[in-house]
Amino acid sequence: MDTIIILYTGAFGLIFIGIAGIVLSRHLVRIIFAIGLLEAGANLLLLLATWRDGASAPIIVGGRVPALMADPVPQALVLTAIVIGVGILALALSLALRVQHAWGTLDMRAIRLRLEEEIDDAAGIEPPTSADAPAPRPTAPATREGGA
């Protein structure tokens, strides 16, 4: 019972670090790594879902069937989830590379402001005067918070 509490603490801890990293970081690469941590936490949670102490791998070697086998389903699911994560990571890094080439920054706040400007420019809207603030945007915590 104690082991499982430690394992769960690890999973929830990774999720905590991941979310905190996504929300509080400003550097793009850190945010991308934080997403990886969050995914790792979710994967660990999935593996722990039907974890049983002392169960052996669900593989038959030499015709011997183990008495207590681990649940093969989460293992297959996590394999899938990891591969998905890799694909998205590669795409995120490609996008980051292009943005860095074009705008020379990886700072999320700078990117957001620049993006806003470019959209206004492309639409042919003059920058708002100080009396008339830009249109209100429903901001998620993921983008509003700045910090280290």
Partner 1 sequence: MQRFTSALFLLGLGVLIAAIFRNMDLAASTPIVGDAINAAAAQQVGAANFVTSVVLGYRGFDTLMELTILFTAATAGGLVLGKPRGDARPDPEAGLVLRAGADLFFPLLLVVGLYIILHGHLTPGGGFQGGVILAVAFFLPLLARPGTPMSHRAVSLIEGLAGASFIVIGLLAMPEGQAFLTPLLDKGQLGSLLSAGSLPLLYIAVGLKVGSELAGLLAQLAATEASD
Partner 2 sequence: MNELVLMVALPLLTAFLLPVIDRLSSLAARWIGPLVLLLTAIIGLSAWSQTGSGAITIELGNFRPPLGIDLYVDQLALLFALAVTLGTLLLWPAEGEQRLRQSTLALLLAGSGSGLALSGDLFNIYVLYELIAVVSYGLAASRGTAAGQAATLRYLIVSAFGAALALAGIALVYQATGTLNLAQLAQLAPTQLNNGQGLAAFVLMLVGFGVKAELFPVNTWVPEVYATAPARVAGLLAGVVSKLALLIIVRLLILLFPQPEALTVMLVLGILGVLTGELAAWRARDFNRMLAFSSIGQLGIMFIAFSIPGKAGVFAGLAVALHHLVVKPALFLLAQRWGGSLEHLAGVAKGSPLAAALFILLALSLIGVPPLPGFWAKLLVMIHLLEQQSSLYALGAWIIMAGAALEANYLFRVASSFYRREAAATPPAAHRTGDLAGASLLGAALAAAVFLIVPLADRIEAMAGQAADRDHYIQTVNPEPLP
Given the rule CB under 8 A, which residues bind partner 1?
1, 4-5, 8-9, 12, 15-16, 19-20, 23-24, 48-52, 57-63, 69-77, 79-80, 83-84, 86-88, 90-91, 93-95, 97-98, 101, 141, 145-147
CB of 66 to partner 1, least distance (A): 9
Out of 41, 55, 75, 109, the residue judged to bind partner 2 by CB under 8 A: 41
Rounded Cα gap, residues 94 and 32, in angstroms: 12
Q: Which does 17 bind (CB under 5 to 8 A by kind): partner 1, partner 2, none?
A: none
Select from 52-60, 61-69, 108-116 the region that touches partner 2 (CB under 8 A).
108-116
When the beta carbons of 1 and 61 are compared against partner 2, the nearer one is 1
Quote the CA–CA distance of 17 and 12 in Å, as a whole number.
9
CA distances 115 to 52, 91, 100, 108, 130, Å, are: 49, 19, 13, 10, 19
Q: Are 41 and 15 in contact (CB under 8 A)?
A: yes
59 and 25 in contact (C-beta within 8 Å)? Answer: no
